[in-house]
Structure 1
């Protein structure tokens, strides 16, 4: 969240994409750079229980990828492949030979959305998110590049006109909820097959874990973005459920 005299922005890369916060004025689509999206966060309060935690998404930064060798495997399997098509579910996926040290933030894009909250609704939405985004999530400031405006109304033109541009690209700088690698609920790196089975088995107060994964996949597709990790995870989960 980024609060100002003009209101604030909320960035979504997980459930916020398909389950918007209350009282938002309009939404834009776009991406953040320098992160990968993974189902490596344990969920004991929404899509699982304390006895049987589910899995929800978090972001892993390029800085953490560079520091922690154990996180390297996934980025070579998904984000760094020259040809990102997965031939068959569950098959061994060829890995890229790109050195992790040569990866830039621009090489890693996570597509999502951002919601504008008018000044009179800022405190109410902050209180709502403080309850919703628990179990290991903390706020971090990141830039968000706007690719399109998905909802337009009487507020849109005025707010958008104040958004800065860099090299012709509009962006906002905002806070975002992330479960970092240091938080107690961080699970990863976890084999995609293990994650898929856990998602199929899990259910919590907010519903089935598989529903979360399905809606997220559909929402990211709706942005016109490719996320091979999400797609393989969903295909595996669908097979295990059947």
Structure 2
């Protein structure tokens, strides 16, 4: 689930913020990691086809934009946020040693005081070479369903998995952020928006954890999805910038 595609003459990019991070597409040339700005990642999308059943839906991730958080009446101005990079110091969420402790504190912020740069969701991007484009499109058409629709957002590239001539050639045709110099991809991304019929947020993290703990679908146990995602996201960046404290907190609740 949760991928995006941007077409280029030399191939396509497949961007993932959910299961594609730990379960990549079967055919890709190289991988990069980075982030989307102005979104939070939440297990607020009901899943009746992958990690649950129609009779007992599980939960999978989607993105909620800062614009939706600010403008939609279903979200309160006071919200527990885990992804406040830089400006609000993520380390405040942890007790003792940040690199070791998993005891996470809730921090409440006023949504209307947040800026797009305050929120980052880390993910990956896979480059698919031209000869595999059609096969991967068909693959993603099956994988992306149950409420997801396409939207265009920039993905900022921070780390390159490995450098090669192909990597350099592809990135030379990629835009750069004038402020930071980072590469970024103007990407079509699949999101379960807040008005799709499978969106169940906002939902208390304790309630989400209970559903995940007991749900299972054709793709396997819901808790397996969550655990794999939290672990994979944590290791996207060697400097620790990619840690998602919402996912780690949710793992602890669902594992009890």
Instruction: Decide: shared fold, TM above 0.5.
Output: yes
More helix per residue = 1
1:172, 1:92 → 2: CA distance? 34
Q: Do residues 105 (structure 1) and 116 (structure 2) align? A: yes
Task: Provide the residue aligned with 1:85 in structure 2.
Answer: 94
Taking the aligned partners of 2:115 and 2:128, their CA distance within structure 1 comes to: 32
Deviations 1:117-154 (A, max 9, x none): 11121111111101111100111111010001014445
SS in structure 2 at match of 1:70 = coil
* Runs of 4+ more than 6 Å apart: 86-92
Aligned to 1:146: 157
Q: 1:70 & 1:90 partners in 2: Cα distance? A: 29
Task: Note the aligned Cα RMSD (angstroms).
Answer: 2.1
Q: Give the TM-score normalised by structure 1.
A: 0.91
Alignment correspondent of 1:196: 209
In structure 1, runs of 5+ residues without a counterpart are: none
> Which residue of structure 1 aligns with residue 51 of structure 2?
47
Q: How does 1:130-145 map to 2 (within 5 A)?
A: 130-145=141-156
Q: Cα offset for 1:100?
A: 2.1
Distance, in Å, in 2 between the alignment partners of 1:205 and 1:73 is: 37
1:238 maps to what in 2? 255
Query: In the alignment, is the contact (CA less than 8 A) between 1:40 and 1:190 conserved in 2?
Result: yes
**Does residue 173 in structure 1 map to residue 186 in structure 2?**
yes
Where 1:120 maps in the other structure, the secondary structure is: helix
2:147 match: secondary structure: coil
Question: In terms of mean alpha carbon deviation, does 33-42 or 218-227 score higher?
Answer: 218-227
Identify the residue that residue 35 of structure 2 maps to in structure 1.
31
CA gap of 1:232–1:17, structure 2 versus 1, over 3 A, is same
Q: 83-92 vs 100-109, which deviates more?
A: 83-92
85-94 or 23-32, larger mean C-alpha shift: 85-94
Contact 2:94–2:105 (8 Å) recurs in 1: no
Q: Is the contact between residue 146 and residue 171 of structure 1 (CA under 8 Å) also seen in structure 2?
A: yes
Which of these residues, 12, 19, 24, is aligned with residue 20 of structure 1? Answer: 24
Contact 2:51–2:221 at 8 Å: present in 1 too?
Answer: yes
Distance 1:24 1:74 in 2: 41
CA pair 197-86 structure 1, distance change in 2 beyond 3 A:
farther
- Displacement, 1:74? 7.5
- 1:7 equivalent to 2:11? Answer yes
